[in-house]
Structures are given as structure tokens and as C-alpha cells.
Amino acid sequence: MVHLKTEEELVKIRESAQILGKAHGEVAKRLKVGIKTKELDRIAEEFIRDHGGTPSFKNYNGSFPASLCISVNEVVVHGFPGNYEIKEGDIISVDCGVQYKGYHSDSAYTYPLEGAGKEALLLLERTYESLFRGIEQAKAGNRMGDVSYAIQSYVENFGYGVVRELVGHGVGKSLHEDPEVPNFGKRGKGVKLVKGMVFAIEPMINMGTKNVVQERDGWTIRTSDRKPSAHFEHMVAIHEDKTEILTTHEYIEQNYPYKWRSKSQ
Ligand code: MG
Ligand code: MG
């Protein structure tokens, strides 16, 4: 069941999303060659708690061990922060969630390190673009399939694989609510988008095959051909006459020194 949000609820979600955006910004300041991914996790958790929030991911389902999902190169999503030291040329997806005043927020960004190849940069650029093509279709009166189709049709043009096993989702009092937001689908199909819906759009796009496998840790998802994967995520609120992007990558872009995107969104 889709829970439509009131204006009072949106106020809290916006506050949650601001803490989240700034937590991402703190990570962006420190994300460089040689840092261990568990150190980035510590920075995010500390920032979130210092600002009155709690990390949504920590102990999710009673088992996720960290505040961030950090997914390196061929890892699509749900990677554990740990002793891995970031290397030149890596692409690093950082996904974070915050709970504040009872409401969750959720967003993700994939960073290229200097030295990342041209093909990897194109994958990131195009995945980022697909997120905004999805957002453009996320408006009252459209169907979810319009969002899904916009993402899928754009990236498949380049021969990329769209992950099927994981999808975007409604967000609110729970981190994952209805509706589902697939990154593949047909125009005019799926749930109708109406005022009060809040959901995360999060294309997970692979350079090669769409197929993924789960590691034995029960969480980490990687591409089956071990080619790189990219992931960007924003949360939107549907209003009658406009769509609001609730989350922000602004603090990431301010703080991350490598200005890799060729155009601004
Ligand atoms: Mg999400
Ligand atoms: Mg996320």
C-alpha cells in the first residue's frame, strides 16, 4: 500500500534529507586514494548522530553492519565498508540513509577517482543522466512505467545492462515502502503517480551484462561479468503541479575535488 505524505510529513523528510546531504558532503571531503572505506563509514555515522539522526542502514534487517553501503567497481550495491583502501581509478558508490524525527531519507552517488578510464566516466555520466530522465517523468498523472522506461531506454542505447533484481522504492516511516520503482518497464504501465507520493529513484546500471550475483556475505551484489557498475539515487515528492527533489548532491559536488562531470544537471 502506498502511503501518501502530508505536508507535515514532508517537512520532516526534508530535514532528514538535509542531514543526509551534508553527511554525503563530509564523505566527499575525505574520499581519496588510500582511505579505508570503513573510515568513510565512521565519518558518516558520526555526522548523522551529531545532528540528531540515526543511520537508516545500520542493523537493517538485523544484519547490515554499517551506516553506508560502499560499493567498489564491479560491486553494484550493498557493499560493506571495511579495510579496503581506495585506489586510483576506482569508482566508488556511496549509498546512505538517515532517520530523523521518525522519517527516512536515502540517496546515493558514485565517485570516480582520478585515473578512472573513459569508459567508466561515460558509464557514470550516463547513469547520472538516466536518473534525471527518470525524475523528469516522475510527475502527477504519469505512471511509474514512464519513469522506468525513461531510464531503461536511455541507458540500453549504450549497450549497458539494467539490473533487474533491485529497484527504487517508496520512503517514509520505513526505509523501503511501496511503490516499487523499477529501472526497467513500459510507458503507461504501473502505478499512477499522485500528489503525496515520496519515492527513491535509483538506477543501477552495469557496463556489461545486467546479471548480478550475491556474495556469500548475504549482502554484497556484484556484476556477474565483473565489469563496473554505477548507482545514483535521489528521492522525489510528487506535488500536483511539480516534482520536488528532496535529497541533494550539492554538498558532494561542493566538496569532492575531482570535477568529473562534463555538464551540470
Ligand atoms: Mg534506496
Ligand atoms: Mg540508497
Q: What is the distance in A from the centroid of ligand 2 to the CA of 149?
A: 20
Query: CA torsion angle for 5, 58, 257, 245 (degrees, to 10)?
Result: -10
Whether 264 is covered by a domain: the verdict is no
Indicate which CATH number applies to the domain containing 102: 3.90.230.10
Whether 2 is covered by a domain: the verdict is no
Q: What is the distance in A from the centroid of ligand 1 to the CA of 192?
A: 20
b/e per residue 234-248 (b: at least 16 CB within 10 A): bbbbbeeeebebbbb
Q: What is the distance in A from the centroid of ligand 1 to the CA of 77?
A: 10
pTM for the whole structure: 0.97
Q: What is the distance in A from the centroid of ligand 2 to the CA of 77?
A: 9
Whether 265 is covered by a domain: the verdict is no
How does pLDDT run across 30-82, given as a tens digit for each residue? 999 999 999 999 999 999 999 999 999 999 988 899 999 999 999 999 999 99
Supply the pLDDT for residue 263.
67
Q: What is the distance in A from the centroid of ligand 1 to the CA of 181?
A: 10
DSSP 124-136: HHHHHHHHHHHHH
How does pLDDT run across 95-151, given as a tens digit for each residue? 999 999 999 999 999 999 999 999 999 999 999 999 999 999 999 999 999 999 999
Whether 196 is covered by a domain: the verdict is yes
Per the structure, the complete domain to which residue 108 belongs is given by 7-255
Whether 130 is covered by a domain: the verdict is yes
CB 94, CB 45: distance < 8 Å = no
- The count of domains in the chain is 1
Residue (of 87, 41, 93) closest to 229 by Cα position: 93
CA distance 136 to 147: 8
Q: What is the distance in A from the centroid of ligand 1 to the CA of 122?
A: 23
Whether 231 is covered by a domain: the verdict is yes
Q: What is the distance in A from the centroid of ligand 2 to the CA of 25?
A: 15
